Amino acid sequence: MKITILTLFPKMFDGFLKESIIGRARKNEIVEIESVNIRDFGIGSRKQVDDTPYGGGAGMVLRVDVLEKAIRELKSNNKKQKKLVILLTPQGKKYHQKKARELSKYKGDIILVCGHYEGFDERIREYVDEEISIGDYVLTGGEIAAAVVTDSIVRLMPGVLGKEESHQNESFESVTLEHPHYTKPDEYDGKKVPDVLLSGHHAEISKWRREEAIKRTKKRRPDLI
């Protein structure tokens, strides 16, 4: 898979794409990720990408002709490969783990379109396949949302985390949140690691983890059950 992030601020992704799990996945050629500057497709010598909104109002609006040209050119690369174009917008469908898993299995390339300023010209929606929102709040631009979506997709790809079970019991992979975790020291500030985790009894440990996951979910996110 290749993930292309269409953005006005590609340098925002410099560190993100080189470090940790994402960096290793790219180095191991499990996934290809690049950021492309929308301004490369801008109009005139100043590479204009936005303009004032019709009807008046504050802010600037990204032009549909610039964005459509960028999307069209990215889709023309390697035409044999399917392309899924996703608009990152507060008006999109709420993103969740099930969608991340679905996208991680997509047999093609993904293009993430980041908004900025006051938003997009409404007509851009005719040139994308899906619209995604990462939550009910507004960000300065779609770059952080693109990083969230990219990270959630890549970590689910085979070979990225090393062990398949690394993400199978995580929060939102089932109807419950993830169970509590502990490591050394066995006791700290009067608080001890539960005895069952030190017992070596794998069946009892699994039972404890399931029960604790249910308790935690009922307390913190009862809406999931």
Q: What is the pLDDT of residues 128-182, one digit of tens each?
A: 999 999 999 989 999 999 999 999 999 999 999 875 545 555 554 667 888 999 9
Task: Look at residue 204 in the predicted model and tell me its pLDDT.
Answer: 96
Task: Look at residue 118 in the predicted model and tell me its pLDDT.
Answer: 79
Calculate mean pLDDT across residues 53-68.
Answer: 94
Radius of gyration of the chain, Cα coordinates, nearest whole angstrom: 22
Task: Look at residue 224 in the predicted model and tell me its pLDDT.
Answer: 84
Alpha helices in the chain (DSSP H): 14-18, 20-27, 64-76, 97-104, 143-154, 202-220
Q: What is the pLDDT of residues 17-33, one digit of tens each?
A: 999 999 999 999 999 99
Report yes or no: 171 and 181 within 8 Å, Cβ to Cβ. no
Distance set, CA 17 to CA 35, 139, 209, 213 (Å): 9, 20, 34, 32
